[in-house]
Structure 1
Amino acid sequence: MTIKAVVFDFGGVLVDWSPEYVYRELIPDEAERRWFLTHVCAMEWVVQQDGGQTIEEGTAELIAKFPDHEPLIRAFYERWHEMLGGLLEGGVETFEKLEAAGVPLFGLTNWSAETFPYAWENFPILRRCRDIVVSGRVKLVKPDPAIFAEMVRRIDAHLPGVQPGELVFIDDNLKNAQAATALGWHGVHHTSNAETDAKLRALGLPI
């Protein structure tokens, strides 16, 4: 089956995002920082905001659980833009090769509806996607099959009749790539640009 579209995750594929950029300054001790980012401002908490909970609500809930860490908790979203290190050159190259070959490109990202506008304004490459599903806007998060169904619905508006087997999804999170594969997509776990490009070529894409 011919590939008709490629869907990109953003963080870790096109955009460099890491809480380390902020918390290396706030918590210099590595062991303490690891503990904080594992047990307090953990990814499970971030995903709640990515799924539609407001930053205000999420911050208040976490402060109630860890009142001694209030300043550090508030810093997460107050300094969120400092966690963005810019674009990832290799991912951008892959995107641009596919774009130049005329492959329709889309975006599927776990991202808070409140912080995504900053990325939209500061990373113009995102606006070159034909459509983007932002988890915080649809209140669904990967790897929930429902968010992939929403992506297929959006793609179908551009490519009527498209089937999951005609879609590629690139994500640096293994569980998300596996979820796409389980739904009939071609899920690509992004671990290096060379490996991702090789997988795309194996699927017949001009890259």
Structure 2
Amino acid sequence: MTQPTSTDTRLSTGLDARLGTGVDAVIFDFGNVVVQWSMRALFSEFFHTDAAVDEFLSTVLTPAENLRCDLGTPLADVVGELVDQHPHHKEPLFAWRDRWIETIPAMIDGTEALIDDLLATGHRVLGLSNFSTETFALTLERYPVFHKFDDYVLSGAVGMAKPDPRIYELLLERHELEAHRCVFLDDSLANVGAATALGIRSHHFTTAATARRWLIDDIGVVGLGGLGGLGGLGGAA
């Protein structure tokens, strides 16, 4: 007979809470939900003005190039091609390759406490993020909060990215979850819209405090008001 794991025990003891709210899993985006993600944190030293950074990010290291990495293209390959095309920008491009972790400067205030409280009340905590497996390994080393997740799906591991509905469906199928029994937190309105279209109750994340309040007031998740992170309910996160 197999002994129950700590996750099995936690989910069993939290069954009443999950049945009461109809929530089997809370799904988190990672960038700007769990950890800060900012290109400016790295590139501001290479440009004299914010406008120059904006131009670099709109004409050289564009969202499309970043998405290539999120979908699994090695960072060094993307940078090599961009340096060939824009040799006058080689310094910031090489910095992005060699110092990528500086684009993740800190945790988002209050999110880890929210994760802890959800786990303590027996909820399954999952991740769904547009993230390169290469750069996520660096992030995981610096921010062990991701070890607390029951599971996560990364775009770089599966070759598809939000807001493609298939990546949401993959996560649901992997854990035999029904969309209407899950909730989703993401800072992108497009990603929130895609999840909502699939029947997942979704919240446009701005702060951990407002996400916590939404889970309590709109979803009815119990146990989040009296545990860690309560102080975040009244102010900025």
Same fold (TM over 0.5): yes
Is residue 146 of structure 1 aligned with residue 161 of structure 2? no
Specify every segment of 5 or more residues in structure 2 that has no aligned partner in the other structure, as ranges.
1-20, 225-237
Task: Give the alignment's TM-score, normalised by structure 1.
Answer: 0.91
User: Which one is further off, 186-195 or 168-177?
Assistant: 186-195
TM-score (norm 2): 0.80
Q: Which moved more, 1:60-69 or 1:162-171?
A: 60-69
Correspondent of 1:126 among 146, 149, 155: 146
Q: Deviations over 1:25-48 (max 9, x none)?
A: 121322211111222112221111
Residue 92 (1) aligns with residue 107 (2)? no
Give the distance between the partners of 2:191 and 2:214, measured in 1 at CA.
Answer: 17
1:205 aligned residue: 221
Per-residue deviation, residues 141-179 of structure 1 (Å, max 9, x unmatched)? 1111111111112222xxxxx210001111111111111
How many angstroms apart in 2 are the aligned matches of 1:121 and 1:30? Answer: 30
| Number of residue pairs matched by the alignment | 202
Query: Where does structure 1 lack aligned partners over 5 or more consecutive residues?
Result: 157-161
Aligned match of 2:129: 109
- Identity rate of aligned residues, in percent? 33
Any idea what SS the aligned residue of 1:86 has?
coil
Q: How many Å separate the matches in 2 of 1:124 and 1:4?
A: 24
Kept in 1: contact 2:109–2:208 (CA 8 A): no
* SS across alignment from 2:175: helix
Q: Spell out structure 1 runs of 4+ moving beyond 4 A.
A: none
Matches within 5 A, 1:15-164: 15-156=35-176, 162-164=177-179
Secondary structure, counterpart of 1:3 in structure 2: coil
Q: Secondary structure at the match of 1:105?
A: strand
Residue 159 of structure 1: aligned partner: none
Deviations along 1:35-65, one digit per CA (max 9) or x if unpaired, are 1122211222111100111212211232233
* RMSD (Å) for aligned C-alpha atoms: 1.5
How far apart are the structure 1 equivalents of 2:72 and 2:136?
Answer: 12
Kept in 1: contact 2:25–2:181 (CA 8 A): yes
Report the counterpart of residue 15 of structure 2 in structure 1.
none
Give SS of 1:191's match. coil
1:165 pairs, out of 165, 170, 180, with 180
**Deviation (angstroms), 1:193:** 2.5
| Deviates further, 194-203 or 9-18 | 194-203
Q: Which residue of 2 aligns with 1:183?
A: 198
